[in-house]
Amino acid sequence: DWEKLLPNIQEPLQKARCFADKLNTYHTLVRYLKATGDLRGAIEKCKHVVSELGDDFPDQIDEALFREETRRVEQLLKDKSEAELISLPKMTDERKIASMQFLNHALSSAFAAEPMLAPVLTFRMVSLSVECGVCEISATAFAGYGSWLVSAYKSDFEGGYRMGHVAIELKNRLRYEEGIPRIHALVYGFINIWRTPFQASLPKHLEAYDAGNFSGDVEFT
């Protein structure tokens, strides 16, 4: 019952003693906005949270900003091998981890509501992972970056395949079972089909389907 849920979300936000106390409720609020179809509202709420956490969230995406963000992430990754990326230290800053979580929330909404924003959010998540260490969401970030590399914008199939492998290995290393539906959809649905027959990935899609039903994340199943 969405009408009853919203007041229950607003009350803890109003009574919280500090911003950190609001984070769990903001997670629920963003999911509520996405579930009710208010994708732009979800993006704006994520922008507010990420900004409060001390990280930048882009306002308007133009060609100049897009090129700048592309160059920045390419520069960060230029001299990094797959092994180096997979073995990056774990992220320990709780505020950075929260930023990654809300950037990821915004990403899933941006695919439908603001397509130009989606790759920029992915670039930011990859950059945070390289600069501040990896967390569970980093696996999704590298999968998203790989799927962008194989898109018509870049057509870098080898680079995309490498990032997909990094994503799967990070998912395994960090034991990110809840991320299986999203990561497998990106890696086996968008990246690996350029290198291997689609039929070879069917067991992975079935694994993602089962994992999504188990965790309740049916967005990508």
DSSP line for 106-143: HHHHHHHH-TTHHHHHHHHHHHHHHHH-B-HHHHHHHH
Cα distance between residue 95 and residue 93, in whole Å: 5
Phi, psi (deg, nearest 5) at residue 133:
100, 165
Average pLDDT over residues 90-108: 96
The residue written with tokens 């994340």 in the block is 217
Segment 207-219, tens digit of pLDDT = 999 988 888 777 7
Where does the pLDDT of residue 149 fall: very low under 50, low under 70, confident under 90, or very high at 90 and above?
very high
Calpha distance 18→32 (Å, rounded): 22
Q: What is the mean pLDDT of residues 182-191?
A: 96
Q: Is the pLDDT of residue 2 over 90?
A: no
Q: Is the pLDDT of residue 1 over 70?
A: no
Alpha-carbon span 177 to 187, nearest angstrom: 15
Percentage of the residues of the chain whose pLDDT score is greater than 70: 98
